[in-house]
Structures are given as C-alpha cells and as structure tokens.
Structure 1
Amino acid sequence: MPLHEQTSLWSDTTIKMLDGYSGTLQTSHTLTFDETEVTSNLLLLAVGGEGELAMNGEVCHIGASFACHVVKGASFTLTSRSDELYYIVITYKASSLTGVSHDLPSYRKHPLQISFIQSTMLQNEWVQTAEKIIAKWRRGEGLECFHANALLQGMIYELIMEYECGQGGEESDIVEIVASYIASHYRQDLELKDLAALAGCGVRQLQRRFKQEKQLGPMEYVIQLRMANASRMLHHTEASVGEIAERVGYSDTYYFSRAFKKVYGVPPLHYRLNKVSKTDADYATALLENRLASSYDSPQGPVICHMRGEYPVTESPRRIAVLDVQYADHLLALGLCPAGSVGSGSLSVHFPQYIRAGLQDTELLGTYEYPDLPAVEKLSPDLIVCTEVHEPYMERLSAIAPVLMFKRNESWQTILRLFGELTGKRAEAQRILADYHRRTALLSEELAPVLAGKSVALIRPLDSLVRVHSAAHRTGAVLYRDLGLPAPLFVADASDTAYHISVDRLPAVQASHYFLLSNEAMQGGISATEQRVRVMLNAGDRQHIHAVDAATWIGCYGPTGINGIVDQIEQALLVGEIGRTASERIEY
C-alpha cells in the first residue's frame, strides 16, 4: 500500500471506548462471549494465572499473561486452569472520521479487523494503563472520558506494533519458546538445565541468547515475572505477604521478602504502604498501624502478625477475652467459647441475639466502645484480642495478658484463618471458608439470570446525607466481591468504602435493588432523612427497597453474622425476585 494511503488509513480512524471492567476467574471458571454478545471490538488482558482461550473454534493454551484483540462478531471462551486468573475487558468502536470506506489490499487485513492473541508476557504498564482507563471511564466526566480514549488509543497502538513485528513468518526462536514456558510455569521450581533441554540447546547458548534479547538471564526472567505479579497483588488485593509469596512460587516468606527487596528496594509490606510518611519514627509507627493481619510458620510454631508486633503461638490459649463481638463469633464458629466478651447496647448491655445462645458461659466485659477493664482483670485471661479503637487501654491491657490488636475492618476471612492458627483449629477454619466460598459461588450463579441488566446498591441514610457503600466496605464486599452482584456505575470505581451524597442526588445511583441500612432499631424509629429516602425510592416503578438492620449488617462481622447476611440477600433477591416475577406474570 502506498505511504499516502497508509497515512490516510490511520489518520482518519477514530477510537471510541464503550465500556470496561475487570474480574477474577477461579479454577475451571469461564468467561464466555458468543457472536451475539461481541457487538464491538474488544481488548482482553489476563495476568496472574494460566488457562485456555477458545476463539472462533480454535483453542490456545495461554500462559501467565496475554493480550487478545477480538473483533465484532467473533466468539471466545476464557477458562482458568490456575488458582486465580485476573482479567480486564475493554470494548471500543473504531470508525472513520470521514465516513469513507478504505479499500485494503487482499493479501492483508487492517489490524483492527483481525482477532489475534499476543501470548508473550504482558508489559506491566499495560495492566496499569488498562486499570487507569477503566477508572477514568467509570467517573463519567467529559475530560476523564476523553483521557480514557486517548490512553486506549495508545494501548491499541502498542498492541498492534507488537502484532505487526511478529508477522514476519519466522518461527519463534529458542528465547521465545523458553520465555513462553516460563510465563506459564513461573510459580514452579524451574532449573536452567531443564529450560535448555526444552529449547533443545546448551545451557550457555540459552543464557547468551536470552541475555542478548531480554537483557537478563533466564532465571532472572523468572524472578522478574514473580516480582511483577507479587507487586500487582500487593497493590490490588488484601492477601497477606505469606499468601502472595506462596502464589508466586516461594514457600519461604522470609526468602521472598529478601528477593522482593532486591528488586524494588523495599520489603513487600513497605511497598504496600509506600504512601505513608518516610521519616524513620513516623514510618515505623505507620507501618505497625497499617499492618495487615497475617501469619507465618517458624520452627517453634505459627507466628501471628498484628498491629502491635508478632505473637508466637507456643501453645493454644485457653482463656481468651475479646473486646469486639466479631471475635466471639469467630471463636464460636471454630467450636470454642471465649472466656469473656464485650456486648452491645446502651441502657442494657447484652450479647447479640444471633450468637447469644453460644455465650452462656462467657463473662460480659462491657461494650466495644467502653470495655469494663476491672472485669477483664478479674477474668484473668491468658490472651486478649482487641482493635485499634482500644489503643488508649493498651498499657493496662498489656499488664493483664498478651494482646493481639487487629484493624476492626480487617477481612473476616483473614481473621478466621489466624484464629485457626492460634487455637489449633486450622482445618476447621479452612472448612468454614470452603463452605462459604462454595455457597456464595452457587448463589452467584443462581442470581446472575435473575439480576441480568439490574444493579444492587448498599445505602445508609445519615443526617441530611446518604452513604452509598462500595466493594471496599466490608459488607459491600459480600455483595460485590463474594457474590459478584452488579454494582451501580456510580460506585464501581470507589477507592473508599463509600460515597456521601445528598438525598436529592440519590436517583443518580440508578440501582434496581437498594439494601437500605436502617437505623430504626438503634434510634427507636425512622429518621427524617431515612423517611425521605424511602419515599423517593418507593416512587420508582422498577426499584425495590430491602430494609435491613444497620447494626446487624455492620457489626455482625464473623462467619455466623456474614452467613446470616447472605441469607437475607438470598431471601430478598432470589426468593423475593422470583415471587415478584410470578406475580407480574399473573397480573399480565
């Protein structure tokens, strides 16, 4: 094609983003689009796992990461074959500014009209750019959407350039063979001699060729992939350092931390907290205050990492005092009973109804906000578990017994695992979590067709404002992360636990179902703000309000409480929605 025609071909082409989202596929789960669903071109990026991509009748094994360009009218199915495959989908439309149809040579199609796969290791910047594109697009603001389109155009350019460079007709050389294998198996123990045997060459030849093309040796390349994926998980997940180490191929957390520091200059935990003050004193304090709960094994037994340091478990504690009801829930779920626990209430303090029967032999230790410290002293526990709220009492509590301090909003699943380590109930904790994941996965599948085209919001009326919660909120995580329910676009890009909006702006959320966290039980009646919210939402024909107790949905944060919340979600969205649908059919 003459140069001036090529110039016109591209200069008249415009890219317009249509949508974008991300998700995670667990083992054997699939992401499927048929011909009727691919109504525009799309980019599919996947990192952190391996699996199979079936596109237009052809099956391709994909490694630890890949990028795929899919044209309108194509079909594909992505199947995960690893523990966790993180994917990003961006749909877009390519059109001519002039409306003129370019005549392309018969021997070659325009790259934007071809479905193709780039199965080499994704540039880490691509993933970050894709996430930035989606975040800007979700904001729905003119300038941000303009920037999202500009970033997308640059990303498509880089993808096409890599695709074009690979169209010379030569087969992949030994470097690409080995690099592709490493990308799919970097979590495993890899040896240089085995990689050389795979490529059919000697060790020295492989090292020399790899160094020439990749600017680093094969084993350094393995470490690079491991660290790139570790940095992504540190940035985007709540997984502990030990869990991340295991996921990227290190059984020893200490060795992983040393390797990570060698690449990034700081240990993993410091990397995760890189926004806190870097002065020595402030940084040390902030590091502990922001420390996520975790554990690791030592020759003497498990070591629990918490906000105040580390607690080696030499023997399981027998008398545990908990200063947050959620911890009592955790212990009861493991078949144990705390020696003492705080309760709830103001005029009359009591244990929550949903776990009261299991706490008949448990001493009442005041409330979460105002623990009864003399009662704690009298109890003589051998371990105290509290949250950062109890920092003012630390000196007195530490004089009574060893203290574990966790963030109150720490993942309940993480805390349950740690309580399993602490009490010698590791297998029981794993079973509870497995049952929960199985239950939410099945319920998610049942809800998908019921909620097709609908979204679910979690809101709480306050004084003159409405709090709209996101997946970062611990109950919002149950809705959006565990059950995979569709969040309104209004909150899809929330980096905080919630947005605060006026009651008049509530229609902008545009949800089909609203779980309204009602303060009625705590306040002894419905507030004026909550009344306005109910009237406004009831005025819509296609909106459903599910009023739930705010204290229960926010405070019941253990296995029993969380499963109770899932029960209410199932009742409201599955049983209730099926009933409404049947009623509508009868009326019709």
Structure 2
Amino acid sequence: MSLEDHLKLWNHSAIRVLDIRRSRIGPEEKRASFRMPASGFLLIHQGCADIYIDERRHSVRGAYACHAGKGSLLDIVQVREAVQYDLIFYKAAPAPPHRKELAAILKKNSPFQSSYGFVPGYPLALYAKSEQMLGLWQAPSALDRFHVRALFHQLVYEMLRQVHEQGGTDVCRPDLVARAVRYLKDHYAEPFGLQELATVLEAGPRQLQRQFKKRHRVGPMEYLIGIRMEQAQAMLTGTKATLREIAEATGYSDSYYFSRAFKKHYGISPLQCRRSCRISASGLSRNPIGEAAKLPYSEVDSANHYQYSSGGEWQVIKRTKSMLAVSLILSLALILGACSGGNGGARSNTNEGASPTSTASSTAAPGPAQAEQAGYPVTIKHLKDDIVLEQKPERIAVLDTKFVDQLIALQEQPAGSVTAAGSSEDFPEYLADQLADVKVLGTRDEPNLEAIVAMDPDLIIITGFQEKIYDSVSKIAPTIVLDFDEDWKDTLVTFGKIVGKEQAAADVLKAYQEKVSSLKEKLQAKMNGESIALLRPRDGGIRVHTPDHRTGAILYGDLGLIAPKAVTEVDDTAYQIALEALPGVGADHYFLLTDDMFKEEAEEYQKTETWQSLEPVKHNRIYNVDTTLWIAYYGPIAINMIVDQVGETLLGGH
C-alpha cells in the first residue's frame, strides 16, 4: 500500500488507544507467544531475537519497529540477547460518511490489519514517544489519557515518516490461511467449528473455507482432523494415556467418537495402533493433511463435525465398516448403477446380511422391482459420515429447496420439503404441478421437526447450513449432509446415486453443457465486451453477487459474461453496498433479483434519483428476475431456465 493510501485512511479514522505494555524477555525464556487482541505497534528498543508475525520472520538486532493486525499471532523466539519492547494496542474505525474510494482501499488492504516491520533510522524518536505515552497511560487523570491519544498520532506520523524516508517497507496483507493453520495447530485440543474459527480470524466462513481449500485442497476442519489424528497417534505410541485422556487432549468429548474418527482416518483402531506402534502403510500420510484425494472427510461447516449420532441400526441404511469396504462397495455400485433402470419396485427390508432375493437375481432375469434395486447397495459420501444405501429410499425429506429441483430433474419426487422463505407460495410455479402431494416441512431457515416426524421419512437430506439440527433429524431417520456451496452438477451426481439414476444425471449434465456452449458463443458475439452485474435489494442495502456466487458462476463462468472490475475485486460470494454506492459498480447491464419479501424495498430504490441516474436504467438495461428461481432452487431445471432467460433477454432485444 502506498503512503498516500495509508494517510487517507489514518486521516479519516477515529482512533482509540486501548492499552500500552512494556515487557522484557531474556535468553533463559524459550519464547513469548500470543495472539494480538487488537491492532498494534511493537517497538523493540534493544535485544537480539527472531520475531514471527503470522509465521513471517523478522530478524531483530537492536532497535526494530513492527505493526500487526488484530488476530495476528506474534512470536518472539530464539532470544539471543534480552529483548525489551513496548506494545501499543489501538482500535481504528473509518469515520462516517465513508467515501467510496476509502471503502475500496480499506477492503483491499487495510493499514490497520497489515503486518510490516523495519529497522528505524531514528530509533530514539520512537522510544521517546513510547516512553512518554507509557508514563501518561499509567496516570489516573482523564486529561493524561487524552494526551496519550494525541501522542499516538505523533507516533504514527514518526513511523510513517521513517518508512517513507527509507523508501518504503515490505508491507504484507494478513495471510488468512496461514493464520488459520497456526490457530488450528495451537488449539486442536479445543472443540470449535468453522464458524467459531472464522469469528476468531475476523473472516467470513465461506471466504475462509474457499481460500483454505484453494491452498491446501481441503477445508480447515479436515485439516484440523488431520492434526488431531497425528497428535493422537503420537500419544498412543509414545505415552500410556487412556483412550479417554487422549480423546479429551485432541478435542473429542467422547472416547467412542474419537475411536471411530481414528479408525476412519487411519484404517485401524486406536488399540491396534498402540499394539503395533505404527500406522499401516495403507493409511493416510502422517502429515496432518496428507494427500487430499485420500482424505475420508469432506469440509464441514459445523461446530461438532467430528461427532456422529449413535443412532443404532437403520432398516435401509448402514454405516461403513471400513475404508476398504467402502471402496469395494462403491466400485460395485458404479458398475451396477450403469445398468440400473425402471421406476417401479417394492421397498426391500434387508439389513446387513445378504438378501436371498439379490442372490436369486443372479440366476434369473430381474423383474421391475428387482431392476430398480440393481444398483444397490451404494455408498454415499457426505459431510458427517459415509453411509450405505441398501436399497432405493422411498420417502425422502429434503431440507433445502434446491434438492427438490434436483429430484424432479431425475423424475423423482420428495415426500416432504422445506420452502423458500422469500416467497408467498409453497413452491415455485415451474415445479408446483409436480409437487401437489409433497408435505411442507417449514422453511430452510426454520424446518418443522414435528412435520418431519409426521411424514415418517426413510431418508433425510440437509446441508451444512442446517448442521445445528443434525442431531435432532438424524434420530428421526438416516441423514445425509451435503455441502451448501457445492456445485449443482456434483450434487446432481450424488442424487443420481441416491435414487439409482446415475445415467439420467449424466444425460442432464451433457444436455446442459451442450446448451451453454452454444449460447456462450452467441453471447460473446452479441455483447461485445459489455459487462453484467447481479443485484439483490435487501436488508436496507443492495447485495452484489460476484463470480464466486453459485448463480454468478453460471453467468460469468458457464456463459462467459463479463463482470465489472469492482465486482471481480471482491474476494467473497457477495458484498453489500448502500444505494448511493450503486453507480460505482459500473455495469452496462443489471439483472435485478426481486421477491415478495423485499419487493417494496426494491420498488422504493427504483424511484430514487440515484437509481434513475444509472446509464443502464436510461437505456432500458435493467432486467427483473425472480429471486426464488435464480437463487433458492439451485438445481438443473431452475438453472436451465436461468440460462434460457439470459439468452432471451440479451439476445432477443431485451
């Protein structure tokens, strides 16, 4: 970040000094390590050591000055000569009104969160200011505290002046993933989930999940499992601690759940590991992560992803007994699934044992009922645990609206479903005639557990978004938890396995790919580089969806439409802006998402002078589309309709 950008934000921010501390660490002490409770300056007056800020090394020999953002991990290690230092914590918040330019700078690289360090050319100037601030901070007078605030600005000025005179310094943006890894390694013994981790790191759960997976190929909670299992393995082979003690030391509240997780991870039980004093070569790498392709877990947006419902035996579904069994069953299911067919058939009541009916089918031509079960058993991998479907489920309850679309696309129907919260109708018009007999189970945000019990499902399908109700619904029926942000194509493949229609799913995907490939060429020729943005008025502002959003991925990825620069610079699925900031989005065309819940709000926005001044409004390039269709029902039918609407709108003269 340039000095000019630094100064713009410092000049336009309200600053409050939170604390001032002076400390010393000698060579006899191994290290000083703590997480920054607030943004702050670290001023080292003397000493020789290595300082790490979020694993970034700073070599200190004498005077040194650093800055670290809130949540950063600060380590002072390898102390070769006693280090004396001051820590000055502060809080900064841009003062209203926020200018668009300042908001963009702050979002891109906040000086209050950046980490940097340098050898000061005039260390005594910094020491004098710090010494004076410390003395006043310890005084009880409110006037003295006010003086500290004035001196803080002088300290910041002196820091920036010296940095500028040295030609700048290596300012680095906080590395979210590195901070997450360090936190996981330091806190693996504590029970927490993705939401809690994101809160500590001051990031969004989806943002953290996406960035972490991009770098490590697995999510942070999978990474945590790897760390816990490696620590557990070391304790098993290197100590005499009991299973309960090891479970508690690695973040598990129950030794039973710990044992299951360990066996799932390494392929052998904890006791077998202790007896053999080694991990089987067929297990995972001892690296906390190992090969991503070998990891048995999927990312979980939950606080207790590593615990499972004891649930007992299910009539239709059983849990996997070993990773080898899963591999064999899955291979068999894929082979048989290609040959499965038919829509009829009675429900089987087989348990874990081999079915006499399935044995007989090898010597006689299968009837309709047998044909429908030909692709079973089949293993379904999901966020909680792998489960095996012994036969096709007949009464499926889906607790996310997009799953309804997925099933109908495969010519199947759920027995019960939640509805979209923003609509006055139970189901959208394009699906309503096919869902007349479907039981309404509340909304996605507030599922009705009593209604779920009453419909007596033999399988429940939810997303990680509803993880908090997993323990409750998994006691009603076997429950599959799918990733809320998973690509609809991958979800369709999973549903194809669940209902025994893998070929039908493949046919749907092939037809879609052919459609978008053809339309993409036509759009590129027609649009001539003009940009598109997706807007959703809601909650007193306007949400702008980015290419990382699932519908944005269709527009910008599948159809190759161009997003405005302001939209592509945001590292999240969406961001909220005020109406006054809308001109800054700068798109040539806008798709405007509207629904019953925010209809009046959207209409009010469109009456404003700001809205009417937009060039796309003047040229009739604002296109109203249905939020329920474009956002809630994220399945093949809805997405094909979205693609058709985009084509008709942009190619058909609007």
TM-score normalised by L of structure 1 = 0.49
